[in-house]
Amino acid sequence: MKNTTIILIGLKTIPLVHPGDDLSALIINAAQNEGVQIDDGDVVLIAQKVVSKAEGALVDLSTVTASAEAKALAAQTGRDERFCQVVLDESERVIEIKGRVIVTNHRLGFRCTSAGVDKSNIEGGGTRFVTTLPKDPDASAVAIRTRLISILNPKEVAVIITDTFGRPDRLGSVGLAIGCAGLAPMASSSGRDLFGNPSTPEIARADELASAASLLMGQGDERIPVVIAKGAFYVKSSTGKLLDMLIDEH
């Protein structure tokens, strides 16, 4: 019988992350300190910001020279021209501008604001440094999962890297997956509905779990960058990639 209970546990004692930190070890240590047991089959959901920091995906704005395009974008949005340059560097294209909001297609294919470039929750208040998305979020998830499993052996877990994206058809942001390892990001059913009719929906399982974790992670000073999900239904996969879910709009 399918599990009817999912437990989400936010880890709140992970220290501020710096480039080169062993993020997997920090997660294990925080779980032990908080009395949280990571079990076989759990899903470890990790906020993009700490992954980017650990990987050194930081840009020093003092080293950025704005192009004419970035200066024009800054004049239109009221944003720092160096910030705009990083957005352009991370973007495949700018789709739309709404006031200060820059809607982009990220170089990886994500549609998001400011190409995922972010100045929040960074030492110095983002006046000098900004973070970018990991170069390859799926590869990042694989590396973190491999390290976690080496520590947790023989337990195996799945890993999802999460971020919050705005949506073009409504206000507000929502937690979504940008990388995963150990699970199929999509879940399909080959069963029937309550009335015996064929029902084969495809569910974005990784995104659903990312959204649930976002409820605990928050966007401000919550300091919960990692959530452990217990009892979540997913299909195990050693080859599942989040980027395979993206729709090519070209």
Least confident range from 168-172, 174-178, 195-199: namely: 168-172
pLDDT above 70 (res 234): yes
Q: What's the whole-model pTM score?
A: 0.93
pLDDT above 60 (res 211): yes
Same domain for 165 and 115, yes or no, is no
**Mean pLDDT score of the chain:** 92
- What pLDDT score was predicted for residue 219? 75
Q: What is the dihedral of CA 19, 23, 26, 30, to 10 degrees?
A: 120
| Domain annotation covers residue 127 | yes
| Domain annotation covers residue 234 | yes
For the chain, the helix, strand and coil percentages under 3-state DSSP, each to the nearest 5: 30, 30, 40
Bridge partner residues of 199 (DSSP):
191
Least confident range from 9-18, 57-66, 122-131, 236-245: namely: 122-131
The pLDDT tens digits for 21-67 are 999 999 999 999 999 999 999 999 999 999 999 999 999 999 999 99
Same domain for 227 and 163, yes or no, is yes
- What pLDDT score was predicted for residue 229? 98
- What pLDDT score was predicted for residue 60? 94
Q: Helix, strand, or coil here: 212?
A: helix
Give the domain extent around 235. Answer: 7-57+136-245
| Domain annotation covers residue 1 | no
CA distance linking residue 247 with residue 124, whole number of Å: 37
Same domain for 11 and 51, yes or no, is yes
| Domain annotation covers residue 2 | no
Same domain for 11 and 101, yes or no, is no
pLDDT above 90 (res 123): no
| Domain annotation covers residue 107 | yes
Report the percent of the chain where pLDDT is more than 70.
Answer: 95
pLDDT band at 142 (very low <50, low <70, confident <90, very high): very high
Least confident range from 13-27, 37-51, 85-99, 110-124: namely: 110-124
Could you give the number of structural domains in the chain? 2
Spatial contact of 102 and 73, defined as CB atoms under 8 Å apart: yes
Residues contacting 31, CB < 8 A, separation 6+: 11, 37, 38, 228
Residue with tokens 């890993």: 159
pLDDT above 80 (res 18): yes
CA distance linking residue 75 with residue 208, whole number of Å: 37
Same domain for 63 and 187, yes or no, is no
Residue 63, domain CATH: 3.90.1660.10
Same domain for 22 and 119, yes or no, is no
Residue 218, domain CATH: 3.30.1330.100
Higher pLDDT, 247 or 23: 23
- Out of 108, 131, 154, pick the residue that ends a domain: 131
Nearest residue to 224 (alpha-carbon basis) of 214, 234, 235: 214
For residues 89-101, average pLDDT: 94
Spatial contact of 104 and 87, defined as CB atoms under 8 Å apart: yes
For residues 122-127, average pLDDT: 63
- What pLDDT score was predicted for residue 1? 55
Residue-by-residue DSSP string for 15-56: PPP-TT--HHHHHHHHHHHTTPPP-TT-EEEEEHHHHHHHHT
pLDDT above 90 (res 133): yes
Enumerate the H helices of the chain as residue ranges: 23-33, 48-55, 68-77, 81-90, 137-152, 205-217
pLDDT above 60 (res 214): yes
Bridge partner residues of 240 (DSSP):
none
